[in-house]
């Protein structure tokens, strides 16, 4: 489960999300922002600060820039920090300059995504800090918002966490329903070895020590301990004896994650990183400049 060190998203990488951004803007703006069009001059220029009303870890600044650029390429977005940085309440994380109409029309979409991604990054950082052991990886799961998985996984990395498999094509994870359909752990692992691409990681979800023994005997690359007690997790780690990657999942909270990590597991996967994160309180402080005066030409007569 190798993963490169976190690097903030570039403008080029953010461009991949342009279809998602266009869809989000279309959802909000629809046939037109009638309030802004009616009340704001098309030539008016404005400045705005993106402000964290509450402290947290920043994620999504290049996505924000792409949102405003989708409405007006001339809008200038200058980040004051980088994704992955922890900031205090009141921090200005970026400044925006350009068309007042574009800034106002893109405001809600930009704030929604920045608040959502930063909330995930902030919660992830809390789990990473609670464990305080780089040998234990805090990872996400597939419990993500439909359509936003890539961005939400990016936010997990911004918070210091790691990504589990992106989707069903990336690794084999044999769960209880697969076992019910295939006849048992040994049968499922054999079938997975035969049917999955070579070098694919095969992991088995176990809810008892007996299932852990069967998975290890079957040659599984990893075992996922589902909602097992801390004492049983410790016993499962001893059974694996470094022959298999051991992952703990289910029922993991900030209150118990440190204890779970102390058992010697390699990975702790937490679905709440994405499905349970609260959006941060992020605002846009806006100030408009006077619209440029329109000079009317008058006809002149010559004697």
Which residues does the annotation mark as catalytic? 108, 143, 175, 205, 226
Q: Which of 182, 228, 225 is nearest to 203 (CA)?
A: 225
Q: Is 234 exposed, middle or buried (0-12, 13-18, 19+ CB in 10 A)?
A: middle
Q: Which of 93, 38, 41 is nearest to 289 (CA)?
A: 41
Quote the Cα angle for 164-169-173, to 5°.
55
| Separation of alpha carbons 17 and 155, rounded Å | 14
Q: Which of 284, 281, 214 is nearest to 244 (CA)?
A: 214
Q: 63: which 2 tokens? A: 């996505």
Instruction: For residue 40, give the DSSP letter.
Output: S
Q: Which of 109, 111, 108, 156 is nearest to 275 (CA)?
A: 156
Half-sphere exposure for 98 (CA within 13 Å, toward CB) = 21
Q: CA 19, 165, 261, 230 torsion: positive or negative?
A: positive
Task: Find out whether 100 and 45 touch, Cβ atoms under 8 Å.
Answer: yes
| Separation of alpha carbons 162 and 155, rounded Å | 10
């Amino acid at each position: 489960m190798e993963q490169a060190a976190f690097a903030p998203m570039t403008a080029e990488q953010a461009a991949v999300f342009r279809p998602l951004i266009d869809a989000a803007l279309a959802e909000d703006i629809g046939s037109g922002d009638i309030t802004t069009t009616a009340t704001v001059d098309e030539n008016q220029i404005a400045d705005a600060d993106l402000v964290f009303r509450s402290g947290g870890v920043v994620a999504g600044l290049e996505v924000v820039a792409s949102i405003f650029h989708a409405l007006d390429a001339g809008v200038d977005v200058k980040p004051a920090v980088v994704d992955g940085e922890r900031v205090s309440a009141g921090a200005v994380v970026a400044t925006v300059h350009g068309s007042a109409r574009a800034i106002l029309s893109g405001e809600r979409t930009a704030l929604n995504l920045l608040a959502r991604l930063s909330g995930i990054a902030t919660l992830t950082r809390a789990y990473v800090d609670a464990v305080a052991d780089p040998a234990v990886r805090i990872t996400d799961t597939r419990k993500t918002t439909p359509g936003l998985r890539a961005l939400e996984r990016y936010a997990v990395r911004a918070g210091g966490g790691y990504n589990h498999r992106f989707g069903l094509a990336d690794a084999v994870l044999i769960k209880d329903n697969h076992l019910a359909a295939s006849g048992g752990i040994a049968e499922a692992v054999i079938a997975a070895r035969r049917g999955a691409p070579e070098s694919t990681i095969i992991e088995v979800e176990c809810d008892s020590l007996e299932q852990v023994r069967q998975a290890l005997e079957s040659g599984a690359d990893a075992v996922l301990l589902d909602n097992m007690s801390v004492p049983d997790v410790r016993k499962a780690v001893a059974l694996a004896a470094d022959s298999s990657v051991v992952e703990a999942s289910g029922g993991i909270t900030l209150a118990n994650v440190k204890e779970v990590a102390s058992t010697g597991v390699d990975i702790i996967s937490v679905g709440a990183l994405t499905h349970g994160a609260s959006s941060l309180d992020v605002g846009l402080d806006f100030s408009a400049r006077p619209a440029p005066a329109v000079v009317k030409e008058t006809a002149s007569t010559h004697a």
